[in-house]
Each structure stands twice: as structure tokens, then as C-alpha cells.
Amino acid sequence: MSYTIVLLPGDGIGPEVIAAAQAVLEASELPARYLSYPIGYACFRREGTALPPETLAAVRTADAVLLGAVGSPLERVPGYRSPVVALRRELELYACLRPVRTPPLPGARPGVDLVVVRENSEDLYVGQEQREGDTAVAQRVITREASARIARWTAAYAQRQGRRRITLVHKANVLRETCGLFREAALAALAATPELQVDELLVDTAAYQLARAPERFDVILTTNLFGDILSDAASAWGGGLGLAASANLGERHAVFEPVHGSAPDIAGRGIANPLATFGAATLLLEHLGEHARAARLHAACQAALRQGVWTPDLGGQATTADVTRFVIDHLTQPEPAAQL
């Protein structure tokens, strides 16, 4: 059995961290072939599209996809839209998962072990917007079906992972229709798993609690835009954007990526922290059912943190190549499973 892994390096530091992750996956001796396809802004400039049809066709046939990052200019560029939303829509990747755990770093807040699950297919984040003169309008579409689907997915995930509590996050006191429907549909779906504890928080309170008492959370379930924002905030407890990883999952496809963007400020300097992408690769291995390889890769990344192999974002001087070499050495040592 050999897997087909499609790599989408993208823009900025994307190619640097994806090359590192491929080397690490190869060192883990995963039986796989790796196919690399273009995506993103540089691809748009070159080919006139940010998500070429060949890229889309390849990701459809892949066992899993590892995405680096895609850059988007803040100002409007005619014809350009970030392909990330289109990719999620085309592949029906309706669940976005972002785990955050206390890292083995000095000064890290102990006891944090939470997961943000974000509905990935609707809400303001899909960017249905119009401008007329000096008025801009965004459309927020929330459906019962998508809300119930993400709630069912979250309950199943929580049970698989031995998690016990789901905190539903919304703003139904003000957005009575959109958040109200999300809340109603999610609570109804979650009623099917009475063994899971369910509570709810308004999004502003959730943000405050995440900043104040992150250890109180287990699974956070929320809508697309709230999830985008809360998961970045939560990632601070996990060692920051240089470590945060995410999975975009649907019934048939799975795309794994670091939470960070293309980091144009450090691109090309060889100092990007590859651990976020190694974390995404770990989620990818778990998704494939390669649990032993996932555990070994996770242990190797933890060892790099513990032993001070830190890139500048963590206060160290290691390069992307240093971290990658350390992780590969750790993976290829005899009896790495004993390191767990």
C-alpha cells in the first residue's frame, strides 16, 4: 500500500516549510509518493489562476494534501481571490480542526489541551460581499444542515479522542437568526450524545476566557469566522503561530496545513519554523491511520522544543534546516518509540 500525498507549497515560506515536511515524512518511511502542485498568488501571477485545474484534479485523487501557505495582497487585485476558500468548497472540507496544547517550552502555560473545531463551509468567511458606492454589504448564510453536520462531526471526533466537553461558541443574543440557527441546530445534534458535556459561551466571553483561563476548555465548536479568530488567539498558548497546525476535513478529502500564512517578512531567509508544518504532517499521519509514525513524529518535534532547537520566533537561532535535521535524526534513531 502506497499513499499519494499531494504537496501544495504555495507562497512565501510555504515552499520552505513544505520541503522540510517532505524530508521529515520521507525519514518516517511512510510508503508514499509525493506530487507537488502550484497554488496561490505567485501561481496566479504566472498562470492567471490561483488554483489551476490540474492542482484541483490532483488533490481530488490524493490520499491527503499538505498545504504550505498562500499569500494574498490586502488591496484588490482584479481576478484574484485566495484559493483557500475555493479549495475548501470544492473538496467539501466542512470541518476545520485546530488543536492547541501546552508546548514543552520554558514559561509555557501548563494544562492547556484544547481543540477548536470550526465550521468551514459557510458564514461571513466565504466572502459573499458587495460594494455600492460608500456602502459595503457582506452576506452571512448559516444553514441548519451545515450547523448540524459540524456538530455531529465534533461529537464523533470528541468521542474518538476521549474528550468530554464541547463548548458551543456563538453570538446568538445579538445575531438571533444566524447564530441563533447555528446554536439551535448544534444543540439539537449534540443531544444525541448525552455522554458528552455541552455548554455554551458568547464569542466575546469566549475570547476573554481564552485569554484568561485557556485550561478550562476542551473542545470549542463555532462558526467559520469566529473559529478563525479564536483559533489564532488560542494558538498563542501552544507556542504561537510557528507551532500551530490545522486539518481541513470532509467526507472524502483532507487538507492539512500550518495555521500561519506566507510570512513575507521572513520568506527566503531560511529561518521559518517548520514545526507547525510538521504538526500538520502529524495530523496527516493520524488521518491515514499511521498512528505509530504520527506518535514518533510528534515525539521528535517535542524533543526539538525541549532541547532548545528553536528558530527565532521562539527566541532561538536555529534555522529551518537545523530543526529539520534534528527531527530527522530523532526519527531515524533506533527505538524512537521509547522516547514517548
By CB under 5 A, name the binding residues for Mg ion.
Answer: 228
Say which residue the cell 461558541 belongs to. 169
98 touching ligand NAI, by CB under 6 A? no
Among 276, 299, 303, 331, binds ligand NAI (CB under 6 A): 276
266 touching ligand NAI, by CB under 6 A? yes
Say which residue the cell 494534501 belongs to. 65
Contact 50, 40 (CB under 8 A): yes
Q: Which of 37, 41, 94, 125 is catalytic?
A: 125
Q: Which residue minimizes CB distance to ligand NAI?
A: 261
- Report which DSSP code applies to 172: T
Among 273, 282, 319, 324, binds ligand NAI (CB under 6 A): 273
Contact 338, 37 (CB under 8 A): no
Type of residue at 20: A
63 counts as catalytic? no
CA distance 245 to 283: 8
CA distance 27 to 203: 42
Q: Which of 11, 123, 218, 228 is catalytic?
A: 228
263 touching ligand NAI, by CB under 6 A? yes
Type of residue at 333: Q
228 counts as catalytic? yes
CB of 82 to Mg ion, least distance (A): 11
Look at residue 265 and give the partner it binds from ligand NAI, Mg ion, none, a contact being a CB closer than 5 to 8 Å depending on partner kind.
ligand NAI
Residue (167 or 246) nearer to ligand NAI, CB: 246
126 touching ligand NAI, by CB under 6 A? no
Q: Which residue minimizes CB distance to Mg ion?
A: 228
69 touching ligand NAI, by CB under 6 A? yes
Alpha helices in the chain (DSSP H): 14-27, 41-47, 53-61, 83-90, 144-160, 178-190, 203-212, 224-235, 275-287, 291-306, 320-332
Looking at the chain, the number of H-run helices and the number of E-run strands are 11, 12
CB of 155 to ligand NAI, least distance (A): 26
Q: Is 68 helix (H, G, I), strand (E, B) or coil?
A: strand
232 counts as catalytic? yes
Q: Is 49 helix (H, G, I), strand (E, B) or coil?
A: coil
Among 30, 84, 87, 97, binds ligand NAI (CB under 6 A): 84
Among 75, 132, 265, 335, binds ligand NAI (CB under 6 A): 265
Angle at 316 between CA 314 and CA 317, to 5 degrees: 135
Active-site residue numbers? 125, 171, 204, 228, 232
Residues at the site binding ligand NAI, with contacts judged by CB under 6 A: 13, 69-72, 84, 241-242, 257, 260-266, 272-273, 276, 311, 313
